[in-house]
Structure formats: structure tokens, C-alpha cells
Structure 1
Amino acid sequence: MQALHFRRLVIIVALPVFCLAVARTAAEAVDQPVTINQMANDIDRDVVADGSTLSTMGGDIHLGRAEGEVTLRTMGGDIRVESAQGPLQAQTMGGDVRIGSVARDVEIRTQGGEVSIHAASGAVRADTAGGDMDIALAEAQAPRAVSLRALGGDIVLHVPADFAGTIDATISYDRHFDGVPRLIEPFGLPRTETPGWIAGFGSERKIIHVTGTVGHGSDHITLSTVNGNIRIVKA
């Protein structure tokens, strides 16, 4: 009998090099900080890494998730962030700033828009020259400072049910304000109101001031508005 010999056939499939390069670039894009500067267009990103800066002269900025410290700037548009690890800086000269959640510190400045944060776990500093604020504080792991200032707008601050901290809230209003502004808070803190008009602010004003400590006072809340209302809401 004649012996039969079998040979193995080995097939090697080589993937194109450019496919591997594209996959590697896509993976690295999420991990590397980006710097985007545009003149007029909107910026829309799903996610950016720590150290990123997004800037546009005349458009909106939308960001799905910020993985670390991120800076956002626009001269004439709105800023919207769904979630941020933080720290987060957002600045616009003529639009609204709306943030879903932020785990660490956040700083917001707008010259002509509203500011809202659905859940802030860290320190908050927000200034607006022409809009309302609606800020909700989430539970915090460490003491934090919260400073909200508005010129010509209302401030609504939501605090956790077990909130403990110092509160310093001030409303300054002039004769152009229709009626008497309201400063509403659920803790029954000491309140003072000037009986008459005070000169020295460019125009005569009256001041409503509430200050005091709730619980052991770990957080520090400062609220200030001109010709607007202040309301503190406990969850």
C-alpha cells in the first residue's frame, strides 16, 4: 500500500494598516485634550478629555460629557453641558448657560443670559448681568462655597434636605423695581430691612438682608441680586 501524506494549508489574513491606525486614533481622541477655536460656528462634542478648551466667537457650545477640567467660551451664544467631572469654567457674553450635573467645582459668567444647574456636587460660583438663576445643590463630600450674583434677575437655590451651612443673602433694589422684592427661605433666619432709601449706590436703594447658620454650618452660601427676588428651597 502507498502511504498518503497530507499537507496543512495555513491562511494568513493581514488587516490593512490604515484600519488599525484609524481605530487607534479614535480611541486616543477621547483621552487627549483638544483645543477648538472657531469664529462663527457652533461647537458640538459628545465628550472631551481633561484639559480641553472649546471657544467660539458667535455660536453655541454643546458638550455631552467633560471628563476633567474643561473651559468653554463663547461671545454670542448659549452653553449647554449634560455632565461634567469638573472643574468646569463656562463664559458667554450674550447667552444662557445650562448644566446637567457637575461633580466638582464650577464657575459660570454670563453678561446677558440665564444660568441653571440641575445637580452641583462641588463649589459653585456664578455671575449674570441680565438673567435669572436656578441652581440645585447635590450632596457634597466636603464643605463647599457657593456664590451666586445677579444684576436684574431672580435667584432660586435648591439645597439638600439635610443642608447645613451659613447663609448670607442680600437683595438691593431701587425705585425702578415694581413693588417690594421677596427673599424667601425655609430656615427662619434673622432678617433686616432698611426702613428708608439709602444713597451712595448711584441711585437710592433699599436693602433686604438675611444671614445665619443652619446646623453645623459646613457649607457657605452667598446670594446677591439687584432688583430681583431670592428663594431658597429645601428638598
Structure 2
Amino acid sequence: MQKVYNFFKLSKHETVLEKEYQLEKPGMLTAHNADGNISITTEWNRKEVRMKATKRAGKEENLALLTVKAKHKKYPDGDRLLISSVSNKNIDGVVDYQFIVPANIKLNLHTETGNIRVHDVKGPIVAKAVNGDIQIGKIANGVSVQTEESGSIIIEKAQDNIKAVTNGKGNIFIKDATKCVIASTQRGNIDTICSNIPTRGKIKLHSEVSGAITLAMPTSVNATVLGKTERGRLTSDLDITMKPFTTKLNRQTRREQERHVHGIMGTGSAEIQLSSTSGNIRIVETEAA
């Protein structure tokens, strides 16, 4: 994200393009941005998408070369709107998008170099940033987000299932999760705070190369817990009834007990899987509101 932030400070010229797109039946908004950010919010129940595209460039003549394309198609399940800008390596410029959308519209968002921010929408969200952060807040439907080379993910107050992946150097922070959570990272930390875990719910947190995992949840959770770290330590502030097993009592088994857990909390109905190659794993109690 260094490229985008530095450029905003150095850019000398900008122009703003504002448009409204009428949708008879709001279906999906797809936004693809090569260089620049995407911001989404809901402020009305109108059947339209309002777009504000801010072009920024070091040279004034390059503003006209920063193109914004729109395609509007109608399908039986709803209108689909595609907004895109194409990267031009010969132009030192970015396009920063801000959208106001119908509350229930589906979102499919992609940036090459730029952040993605979505707040207060009710439709499902799919988002991918190659080099950029993703921040999602107050969402009523499912969320599937991913960063590729660099970028962290923050998800707060999601009322449905969550899938979050960072394939490079990026942390994952999830707060106030109430349904299933699947999160994985290559070289980042995962911090997940669950205010509720459904009876048949699943929590799967995985750190592939390096990174610690912290899972906070209520003491009333009913779940089967399976946790493993190759070169870290696993600790729990919550009571876990360990599965019975037979073993010799020596230094090796004591080390294994610090790195592996298979046990039950309450009835054991939900499923919790925690794994890390070289990071520590911590299970803690959710702090009272």
C-alpha cells in the first residue's frame, strides 16, 4: 500500500467524476480497480448506485487517460453493474472510487493496488486485494475476502459466515463474529473474537508459515477443540476436557502436550480447529461488553 499512500501526497492534479446508475432490480455491483481504493456504504433504499470517482495524477494531461468504464446488464435475477479502470504503466495516476449502493445488492470487488472498505450493507460480499488492506464492518450477509501479496483484513460485526485469507504478509482481525469463521494466513497473525458460536458451527484458523493465533470466545461455548502448533505453544484460559489417551510420561510427551490439544468444551457440538506451523496459539475468554 505504500505506492498509493505516497502518490496521494505527491499528486498535483485531480478531477472528480460523479454518476448515478438506475437499477430496476438491484442484483450485483462488480468493481475492478487497478490503482486506487474502493469504498462502499449504504445510505438509502433507492434502486440506484451512486459513484464518485476521483482521478489523481502528477501531470494534468494524464487525468484524461485514467479511464472509468461502466457496463449495465439486466438479468432475471437482477441488474448487474460493472465498473472498472485499467492500469496503464505509462501513467502515474490512480482512481479512487466511492459508491453508495442499495442495501441488499451483492458486491464483487477487486483492487490491484488499493484498499477496499465496505460498511453497513446487507448483501453478500466477495472482495480481493492484490496489494492492499480490506476492511469490512456491520455486514448482514456472508463475507469472503482475500489479499494476495500484501495487505491485512479487518472484519467487524458480521452477522453471517466469514472466510478470510491472506496469501502473503497480512494479519487477520475478526471481531464480534456470530457464525462460522474460516481464516488462514501465510505470514500473519490471526485474532478472532467470537461473541457466539452456533451449535453446529465451525471455527477454523490456520497459520501456514509463521504467525500466532488468538481465539476469544465465551465460556458457555459447546465445542470440540482440536489445536496443534509445530514449533510454538498452545495455551487456554478456558476449561477444556481432554480426550483420554495412553502415553509414556517423559520430556517428549510433555512437549507434545504444550503443542497439541484434543478436547471438549461443554457438549462438544461445534467444531474448532486451530493450527500453526511456528506460532503460538492462545484460547482466551471473550471480554464482557
Instruction: Name the CA distance, whole Å, in 1 between partners of 2:216 and 2:257.
Output: 26
Q: Pairwise CA RMSD of aligned residues?
A: 2.8
Counterpart residue number, 2:266: 215
Instruction: Name the CA distance, whole Å, in 2 between partners of 1:141 and 1:220.
Output: 10
Distance 1:30 1:58, change over 3 A: farther
Counterpart residue number, 1:228: 279
Counterpart residue number, 2:184: 127
Q: Is the 8 A contact 1:194 1:208 kept in 2?
A: no
Please tell me whether residue 104 in structure 1 is matched to residue 155 in structure 2: no
Please tell me whether residue 84 in structure 1 is matched to residue 139 in structure 2: yes
Distance 1:103 1:222, change over 3 A: same
Counterpart residue number, 1:147: 204
Q: Is the 8 A contact 1:72 1:90 kept in 2?
A: yes
- Report the alpha carbon displacement of residue 215 of structure 1 after superposing the two structures with TM: 0.9
- Report the alpha carbon displacement of residue 208 of structure 1 after superposing the two structures with TM: 1.6
- Report the alpha carbon displacement of residue 104 of structure 1 after superposing the two structures with TM: 1.0
TM score, norm. by length of structure 1: 0.75
* SS in structure 2 of the partner of residue 75 of structure 1: strand
- Report the alpha carbon displacement of residue 75 of structure 1 after superposing the two structures with TM: 0.3
Q: Is the 8 A contact 2:197 2:270 kept in 1?
A: no
- Report the alpha carbon displacement of residue 109 of structure 1 after superposing the two structures with TM: 0.7
Instruction: Name the CA distance, whole Å, in 1 between partners of 2:251 and 2:114.
Output: 44
* SS in structure 2 of the partner of residue 195 of structure 1: helix
- Report the alpha carbon displacement of residue 32 of structure 1 after superposing the two structures with TM: 4.2
TM score, norm. by length of structure 2: 0.62
- Report the alpha carbon displacement of residue 135 of structure 1 after superposing the two structures with TM: 0.2
Please tell me whether residue 65 in structure 1 is matched to residue 123 in structure 2: no
Distance 1:183 1:64, change over 3 A: same
Instruction: Name the CA distance, whole Å, in 2 between partners of 1:69 and 1:75.
Output: 20
Q: Which runs of 5+ in 2 are unaligned?
A: 1-18, 43-100
Q: Which runs of 5+ in 1 are unaligned?
A: 1-21, 174-180, 197-204
Distance 1:194 1:29, change over 3 A: farther
Amino acid in structure 2 at the alignment position of 1:228: G
Identity of aligned residues (%): 24
Please tell me whether residue 169 in structure 1 is matched to residue 227 in structure 2: yes
